[in-house]
Amino acid sequence: MGSAYEVDFLAGVETDVIDLDGRVVLPGFVDAHTHMESTGQYVVHADLSAADSVDDAVETLREDAPDDREWLQGFGWDESDWPEGRYLRKGDLDRVSDERPVVAYRVDMHTATLNSVGLDRLREALPEDDVEFEDGDPTGVVVEDAVGVVREAVGDDVAETRDLVTAARDRALELGVTCVHEKVRDSYAPRVYRELDRAGELDLRVRIDYWSDHLDAVLETGLRTNYGGGLVDVGGIKSFTDGSFGGRTAKVTEPYAGADPADRDDDGRGQWVVDPDDFSELVERVDDAGLQMVTHAIGDEAVDLVVECYAATDDPGAARHRIEHVELFDDEHAERMADAGMVASCQPNFLQWAGEGGLYDQRLGETRRRRSNRYRDLLDAGVPLAFGSDSMPLGPLAGVHHAVHAPDERQRLTVTEALRAYTLGGAYAGFDEDRLGTVEEGKRADLVVLERSPWEDDHEIRDIDVAATVVDGDVVYDTLDGTNT
């Protein structure tokens, strides 16, 4: 950066010169919401995200689930486009194995299906409210806390965590992601990131948001938001309020489409995952401790709760308290977020479910589907906007593509706006805007080189290949073959 005349003096024995031959250089992508172990699980275990039917998912599990672990595991099924239009069930997974435990997690990770062996093994430990029954028989489908019980039972040790994290790291670098804001709970990942960093093998910036379960430990060990300054940083405290649209557990003010209020104890309007009073106390405690708050809120009633609790803190803008997802909200929420400086951390890849007949349509109906994920309205209101993937899956250019081609104009961004949310927007959410997020003098050299310009033919954005990724001045991924180096 700077004048070509000055830069020319740098060419010499200590400088590598790489001719990019007209390719496009952008700031490295900041993915503001990741679960890297989950990304790694797709690489290491059976990836069910491309399965287009129940049979296809069963077949993929049979073929791709590695045999050297106790449980056979698959990740990422999504029934919303399947001809059967239903969840995977116990009987489907019994076709994968009737001797070994099998689990297949839905794409949102709030729902999972067990086979009969898996279900029998965990039956005692599963909270009954989160186990689905039909005619008195469990269907194999479990949600929310029961999914947590399954994950704990399957269990990852340090070596497995390292396998998952390094597989995810490699995937991130291939996609041009140079920094992730990583949400962790009861995991060896923070230890593994620091071990990799110490060994000089991390090659990726990781900002760790610790689950609220760890708040006492964070305070006892004296961790502070933004402590770090190298590759590994301390982020904030992550909490939930509601669930997801997929599981009909996001908290909405109007009932779900086709909901029969008599069916459930929640009036068909979703459920709190964290009790609102407990959440309110948590925000106060986190804010008083000088830590950043990072809260999952999807439905409009959940967004309302978070805005209310954040607004009650001293200076939510200075603390950069964040709302993750913000999928359904009112204009008033956007205004209050903008006025107070609360950060919206959104996932434009979710727009893939916002088309006609898609998941948002099925769960919320036409009007609310079109009002979901309104990035245009957030930006116009002046809300700081950060983009991420929620590891569903990683892919900044896919996210940019969806934001640029969103079904409704209230959701749609220009190429530049979408790229900015995926670079500088994420940097801002992590207090890193003076160090990351743009290509300019004085900032760290986190860069991505694209084979083609996303501005030239915007219909192809998601198909553009990454030619190289640079983190902190080191080329950590490239397909340049050395021919023009």
Q: Which is nearer to Zn ion, 87 or 350 (CB)?
A: 350
Query: What mask of x and - would describe binding to Zn ion in positions 341 to 380, judged by CB under 5 A?
Result: ----------------------------------------
Partner residues linked to 261 by β-bridges:
none
Alpha carbon distances (Å) from 237 to 225, 282, 299, 327, 424 = 9, 9, 20, 20, 21
Contact pick of 78, 390, 417, 432 for Zn ion (by CB under 5 A): 390
Q: What's the closest the beta carbon of residue 32 comes to Zn ion, in angstroms?
A: 10
Considering only CA atoms, which of 462, 472, 447 is closest in space to residue 23? Answer: 447
Q: What's the closest the beta carbon of residue 185 comes to Zn ion, in angstroms?
A: 10
Q: Tell me the residue type at 156.
A: D
Q: What's the closest the beta carbon of residue 108 comes to Zn ion, in angstroms?
A: 9
| CB-neighbour burial class of residue 90 (10 A; exposed 0-12, middle 13-18, buried 19+) | buried
Using CB under 5 A as the binding rule, whether residue 92 contacts Zn ion is answered as no
Nearest residue to Zn ion by CB is 390
Q: Which is nearer to Zn ion, 192 or 346 (CB)?
A: 346
Q: Which is nearer to Zn ion, 36 or 381 (CB)?
A: 36
Q: Which stretch binds Zn ion (CB under 5 A): 36-44, 127-135, 385-393, 449-457?
A: 385-393
Size of the residue set binding Zn ion (CB under 5 A): 1
Q: Which is nearer to Zn ion, 37 or 390 (CB)?
A: 390
DSSP SS3 for 343: strand
Neighbours of 312 (CB within 10 A): 12
State how far the Cα of 300 lies from the Cα of 259, in Å rounded to an integer.
Answer: 17
Q: Which is nearer to Zn ion, 211 or 439 (CB)?
A: 211
Q: What's the closest the beta carbon of residue 171 comes to Zn ion, in angstroms?
A: 17
Q: Which is nearer to Zn ion, 242 or 390 (CB)?
A: 390
Q: What's the closest the beta carbon of residue 292 comes to Zn ion, in angstroms?
A: 16
Tokens of residue 32, six digits: 């503001």
Check if the beta carbon of residue 57 is closer than 8 Å to that of residue 463: no
Q: Which is nearer to Zn ion, 79 or 390 (CB)?
A: 390
Q: What's the closest the beta carbon of residue 3 comes to Zn ion, in angstroms?
A: 43
Side by side, which strands form the sheet with 131-134?
46-47, 72-77, 102-106, 111-114, 137-143, 131-134
Which residues, at least 6 apart from 90, have a Cβ–Cβ distance to it below 8 Å?
Answer: 113, 114, 115, 116, 119, 138, 139, 140
Q: Which is nearer to Zn ion, 92 or 327 (CB)?
A: 327
Q: What's the closest the beta carbon of residue 351 comes to Zn ion, in angstroms?
A: 16
Q: Which stretch binds Zn ion (CB under 5 A): 48-56, 79-87, 382-390, 438-446?
A: 382-390
Which residues, at least 6 apart from 435, have a Cβ–Cβ distance to it below 8 Å?
Answer: 427, 443, 444
Q: Which stretch binds Zn ion (CB under 5 A): 85-93, 122-130, 297-305, 388-396?
A: 388-396
Phi, psi of 181, rounded to the nearest 5 degrees = -100, 105
Q: What's the closest the beta carbon of residue 325 comes to Zn ion, in angstroms?
A: 8
Partner residues linked to 29 by β-bridges:
177
Task: List residues near Zn ion by CB under 5 A.
Answer: 390
